[in-house]
């Protein structure tokens, strides 16, 4: 028996136009959480560990004579792999990203941006470049692919590398336009060393001088956007693991428009 599954047709309003979405061509933008230094990392975290439980002579490893594989995992959601965070990342009360209700399918827009080198040698994603690349119509989620799109981003240890970051005013602009979800292929939207200012995070969540926190807005970091996924409209399914925490591992899957 090999039943044929016919995928239902998903039609979505993207920027005011009804498009058919290609559910048979998913692009998984998440990076896997892998033990040791094989996955991406940042913020000087120790390597992610996955170790068999050992207790009273019992071992959680079949290869070592145990009945099952039963392993403890230690990791930091911000430092290892794809994760989604909410405003609780920078508030005294640690609001949980698990409380954010994310629709099953979001209208999303993919943009490719080349960081600009500043006189000080930083690589910055300029507000104008970001905002000019968006459509005029409202969009729920913006997915940023930074160029060059080196495959090695999928396993890089970003600690102490001063990665590219966003000009905060650009992220304030996204908030102003009602963009609820921002996804980036960088370890942060802010400069690695910014004396704790987190200007970009604050601007996006409106915890700057506007002080109007956007409780349902999320930032997803450490994605990888394959070259095969074109810039422009798509449907996004942003799944988050159900941790009660400011940030949690996540799996953004994008479905392109049917050609
Ligand atoms: Zn983070």
Confidence band (pLDDT; 50, 70, 90) for 160?
A: confident
Q: Look at residue 84 and tell me whether its pLDDT is greater than 60.
A: yes
**Closest residue by Cα to residue 140 from 223, 58, 237, 52:** 237
Q: 188 alpha carbon to ligand 1 midpoint, in Å?
A: 6
- Taking the domains of the chain in order of start, what are their residue ranges? 10-32+77-256
Fold of the CATH domain 10-32+77-256 = Glucose Oxidase; domain 1 (3.50.30)
Model pTM above 0.85:
yes
Q: How far is CA 206 from CA 28, 35, 90, 168, 179, in A?
A: 29, 36, 11, 11, 12
Query: Measured in angstroms, how far is the CA atom of residue 186 from the centroid of ligand 1?
Result: 10
Helix H or strand E segment including 253:
strand 247-256
Q: What is the rounded distance in angstroms from the CA atom of residue 30 to the CA atom of residue 243?
A: 17
Tell me: pLDDT of 2 over 90. no
Residue found by looking up tokens 């968006």 in the block: 134
Distance 259 CA to ligand 1 centre (A): 34
Confidence of residue 208 (pLDDT cuts 50, 70, 90): confident
Strand partners, 18: 13
Question: pLDDT band at residue 164, thresholds of 50, 70 and 90?
Answer: very high
d(Cα 121, Cα 110) in Å, to the nearest integer? 27
Query: What is the distance in A from the centroid of ligand 1 to the CA of 18?
Result: 34
Burial (CB count within 10 angstroms: exposed 0-12, middle 13-18, buried 19+), residue 116: middle
Per-residue pLDDT tens digits for 97-107? 999 999 999 99
Q: How many A from CA of 194 to the centre of ligand 1?
A: 15
Indicate the DSSP class of residue 6: P
Residue-wise pLDDT for 15-26, tens only, equals 999 999 999 899
What number is the average pLDDT over the span 245-258? 96
The CA distance from 232 to 76, in Å, is 32
pLDDT, averaged across the chain: 94
Give distance in angstroms: CA of 79 to centre of ligand 1: 7
**Ligand 1 centroid, distance to 19 Cα (angstroms):** 32
Rounded distance from Cα 187 to ligand 1 centre (Å) = 7
CA of 92 to the centre of ligand 1 (A): 16
Ligand 1 mean position to 59 CA, how many Å?
34
Predicted pLDDT at 130: 98
């Amino acid at each position: 028996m090999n039943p044929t599954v016919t995928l239902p047709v998903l039609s979505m309003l993207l920027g005011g136009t009804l498009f058919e979405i290609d559910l048979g061509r998913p692009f998984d933008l998440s990076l896997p959480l892998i033990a040791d230094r094989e996955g991406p990392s940042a913020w000087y975290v120790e390597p992610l560990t996955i170790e068999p439980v050992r207790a009273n002579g019992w071992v959680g490893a079949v290869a070592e004579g145990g009945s099952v594989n039963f392993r403890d995992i230690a990791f930091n959601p911000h430092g290892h792999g794809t994760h989604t965070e909410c405003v609780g990342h920078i508030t005294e009360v640690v609001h949980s990203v698990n409380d954010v209700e994310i629709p099953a399918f979001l209208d999303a827009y993919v943009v490719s941006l080349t960081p600009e080198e500043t006189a000080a040698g930083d690589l910055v994603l300029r507000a104008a470049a970001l905002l000019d690349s968006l459509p005029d119509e409202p969009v729920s989620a913006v997915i940023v692919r930074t160029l060059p799109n080196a495959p090695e981003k999928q396993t890089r240890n970003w600690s102490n590398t001063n990665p590219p970051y966003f000009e905060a005013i650009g992220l304030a602009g996204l908030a102003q336009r009602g963009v609820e979800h921002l996804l980036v292929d960088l370890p942060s939207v802010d400069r690695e060393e910014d004396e704790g200012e987190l200007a970009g995070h604050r601007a996006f969540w409106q915890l700057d001088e506007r002080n109007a926190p956007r409780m349902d807005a999320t930032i997803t970091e450490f994605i990888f956007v394959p070259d095969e996924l074109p810039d422009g409209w798509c449907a996004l399914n942003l799944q988050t693991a159900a941790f009660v925490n400011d940030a949690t591992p996540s799996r953004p899957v994008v479905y392109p428009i049917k050609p």
